[in-house]
Structure 1
């Protein structure tokens, strides 16, 4: 999990600063549709739906929007059928990239994702070509208030069932095993802790340092183009990019 903390915190901050809330809510709505189809519309009996509702709240999605998405998923699943698809490949500089999608048209999504890779010098690979370089982990990012006690947060998180806590300048990153994510999140919520982001993510085992400005720019443009696509839910990569480029 070397080097993942900076990578994920930047992603979380970028997500919180993203002005295109409507696009984020649409993507979360698709996740809700998948969860409702698989486990029903009652969060009490559907752990996956509870996790997505927590993710929605971390992204400031209004409760009315959440409930509307659940009702829509319950009543209109026969009209639109979404499927989860994962693409793997490489960005310039040998950077491994995983793209998780939810789509109602597999051919359109495959074409769009392939275009994003090709436009900036990347190439789409086969299933499993880079997935082995990443580990699935639950990641809960909590804002670090001035003067907050690192040891206390570590103790609370570990008692809640977390594996580890990473400390950054302004956030705590609580890491869990994928199967423990829901339990840890709910235990922390009961103690009044709120999250900047809350999801099971794919964390790179190692990172690839990229310093050439042209390569950095191509990678960032490729990642941005992927993230702007309506069918793309999450983009994971193992690039260690200069921070000023990542935050632009």
Structure 2
């Protein structure tokens, strides 16, 4: 059940990036610039950068772009100083939402995030108000074409160092230690799996279902506006999204 919901979230994100690839490149680039400044340009000595490279590759960011971003951040090319901010709040009907941002203007970002919550039937809360409902987990999604049976997939996934997996129609959802995302991703890629996403994500302990049409509409709008904001890196929530691809 939660597998469906997780994939619905990832699928939504993937569809959005297919339509606005430049935006996702920009966001990953901003994140890379920050971790390079913090931990250096060598992914062998910078685990955060290594994970981001896996995430970038899963999002089809070309290798030349990745190298250019790392070089620029390691030199003096990137003059921006981004600060990490995390906002927590509730969407319509009490859906828990965590918003991770990188910003060069805290006042602008805080104002934007508060505005979205207020406008679409939610409210911004204090730090810690919903994060206790989530745990950080390595989350990898790979395409599944049915060429391997479940036992063969299990052998591959466990051999790659993952903790668990779930086959959901045409995808395999894989969970692992959040610090092992890049190692597990590389092992799965070497075994011939095509990755759709790979990241350390905030995974909710339980999910909230929305029945009211207006609440569903507002929750969709809240997520769209948050994901569309340049300062927002990641949005996590515990809405058990419908499986059907409904418009509005």
TM-score, normalised to structure 1, is: 0.93
Partner in structure 1 of residue 34 of structure 2: 34
Partner in structure 1 of residue 235 of structure 2: 235
The alpha-carbon deviation at position 20 of structure 1 amounts to 0.4
- Measure the CA separation in 2 of the matches of 1:246 and 1:55: 27
Secondary structure (helix, strand or coil) at the match of 1:142 reads strand
Once the two structures are superposed, the pairs formed by residues 116-155 of structure 1 within 5 Å of their partners are: 116-155=116-155
Partner in structure 2 of residue 10 of structure 1: 8
**Are the aligned partners of 2:209 and 2:240 in contact in 1 as well (CA < 8 Å)?**
yes
- Measure the CA separation in 2 of the matches of 1:155 and 1:146: 15
- Measure the CA separation in 1 of the matches of 2:88 and 2:96: 8
Most deviating of 183-192 and 155-164: 183-192
Distance 1:221 1:126, change over 3 A: same
**Are the aligned partners of 2:143 and 2:193 in contact in 1 as well (CA < 8 Å)?**
no
Most deviating of 147-156 and 115-124: 147-156
TM-score, normalised to structure 2, is: 0.93
For 1:57-109, what per-residue CA distance to the aligned partner results, in whole angstroms no more than 9, with x for missing partners?
11111112111111221123772111211100000111000001111111111
The alpha-carbon deviation at position 14 of structure 1 amounts to 2.3
**Any unmatched runs of 5+ in structure 2?**
none
The alpha-carbon deviation at position 26 of structure 1 amounts to 0.4
- Measure the CA separation in 2 of the matches of 1:71 and 1:35: 12
Instruction: Indicate yes or no: 2:75 matched with 1:96.
Output: no
Partner in structure 1 of residue 204 of structure 2: 204
Let me know the Cα RMSD of the aligned residues.
Answer: 1.7
- Measure the CA separation in 2 of the matches of 1:13 and 1:191: 23
**Are the aligned partners of 1:88 and 1:131 in contact in 2 as well (CA < 8 Å)?**
yes
- Measure the CA separation in 1 of the matches of 2:78 and 2:229: 24
Partner in structure 2 of residue 70 of structure 1: 70
Partner in structure 2 of residue 57 of structure 1: 57
**Any unmatched runs of 5+ in structure 1?**
none
Once the two structures are superposed, the pairs formed by residues 155-174 of structure 1 within 5 Å of their partners are: 155-174=155-174
Instruction: Indicate yes or no: 2:39 matched with 1:44.
Output: no
- Measure the CA separation in 2 of the matches of 1:25 and 1:227: 13
**Are the aligned partners of 1:32 and 1:69 in contact in 2 as well (CA < 8 Å)?**
yes
